[in-house]
A and B are shown apart, each in its own frame.
Chain A
């Protein structure tokens, strides 16, 4: 294997990034998302979009990574076909504002089905639409009540984002690939 792809020779690696704003090669989306979603100083904004909403997505990303073989078998483009990841589908019923709890419950239901399907070794969800979602709704609500966030920016969550992720989503953290079942048992016990 002599032809090692080297996208980062000392000169080009630096110039690529330096010239990014001048129309250089854009950053790989996976590289970008793993940095921008998970990392960065966490301070409480006035728009209190719960950071868990972001973590929800990263959990989905990671779960997909963990069960990628299953996903491949299903041949999915998960972000295009998963209603919970489609803004169009969400906007249609999200406008009234009173749909949050029902939506959460519905999503939770789908997640349980999904997990049950994974556990039983059947990769195909009941309604034949591929989804890869963790059961998140309950811990999410718990945490919302347990961690009221100050509005004045004085009480940032000082912990490292990774540490938060560990606390908040034990299911997906640093899990070896292709072991959704084992982790699921852990979570439930």
Chain B
């Protein structure tokens, strides 16, 4: 049709067409995840990133969860900047999670990584078809299972406390880390004793102080090591109840909103029928270990277990 100037489309149609193209050029489609056997009504009223309504793109028995986004916010240059903006990232991550979570409660759902964006629904359908086998194998692995998170913190005061029983956990003792006798020696009363021994008073006090510091540091290190060992044991016990388990990096206290030493941060993929046993085991681990706090979160969509090698 390259050489058809006379009988072309009327000017009005041209304008409409251009407007459509402009719209298309301004928007894209954000993909949250892929579900199998999802009832479309489950998405009713769901709003995704930037508050846009979420819809399903169905192909080959799989449902892609998508919503329309503006390229001004989700185009390449904009994303590059926005992904580094923690406030934007949080809002997007929460919206992403809300949609995946909602779908995951209704049907097996494989989350896609954040900020996976296509031109339009047709492209999403195309990818759904092209990757169907991969999605199905991931979904097979996730069906009837949920992810649970377990974190453990060593209580800082327990870490500071002297170890009174070897291997007896982190039970804090009533004895303060810095004993009164040491401070008394290094105080005003040290003069006569030190001069009688022919030592410099200040050197004796300094040495005592350094030794005390060293002992405290060792106690803390020992306590920290024990806490890490306990965490490893807890993890192994819990992993025994799970289909798969993964340890995550320790969390930034300012993101987690918690201080203290995080000694365990792990995720477990559980068969639905093992969840109660798992929660009981996690609870008893927390009760068994003095000075270690255990926190369980879940159920999560199986984010941590979609890797093909897990």
Chain A residues within an 8 Å CB radius of B28: 46-47
Among B84, B123, B255, B267, which residue has its beta carbon within 8 angstroms of that of A84? B84
A105 at the A/B interface (Cβ < 8 Å)? no
Cβ-closest chain A residue relative to B46: A21
For chain B, give the interface size range.
Answer: 35 or more
Cβ-closest chain B residue relative to A86: B85
State in angstroms the CA–CA spacing of A162 and B87 once bound together. 24
Among B118, B171, B267, B286, which residue has its beta carbon within 8 angstroms of that of A4? B286
Chain A residues within an 8 Å CB radius of B76: 47-49
Chain B residues within an 8 Å CB radius of A6: 283, 286, 294-296
The interface-forming segment of A109-117, A118-126, A149-157, A179-187 is: A149-157
A10 touching B81 by the CB < 8 A rule? no
State in angstroms the CA–CA spacing of A18 and B130 once bound together. 33
A189 at the A/B interface (Cβ < 8 Å)? no
For chain A, give the interface size range.
Answer: 35 or more
Least CB distance, A47 to chain B, in whole angstroms:
4
A4 touching B306 by the CB < 8 A rule? no
Chain B residues within an 8 Å CB radius of A37: 93, 113-114
Least CB distance, B271 to chain A, in whole angstroms:
15
B48 at the A/B interface (Cβ < 8 Å)? no
A31 touching B155 by the CB < 8 A rule? no
B84 touching A28 by the CB < 8 A rule? no
Cβ-closest chain B residue relative to A3: B293
Cβ-closest chain B residue relative to A96: B77
Least CB distance, B265 to chain A, in whole angstroms:
8
Among A13, A68, A163, which residue has its beta carbon within 8 angstroms of that of B297? A13
Given contacts A20-B98, A90-B81, list 19 more A-B pairs with CB under 8 A: A1-B155, A1-B291, A4-B286, A7-B297, A13-B296, A13-B298, A17-B297, A28-B257, A39-B111, A39-B306, A40-B111, A41-B134, A43-B116, A47-B28, A49-B83, A64-B252, A87-B81, A94-B77, A163-B309
Q: Which residues of A contact B (CB under 8 A)?
A: 1, 4-10, 13-14, 17-18, 20-21, 26-37, 39-43, 45-49, 51, 53-54, 56-57, 61-62, 64-65, 68, 77, 79, 84-87, 90-91, 94, 97, 152-154, 156, 158-163, 174, 177
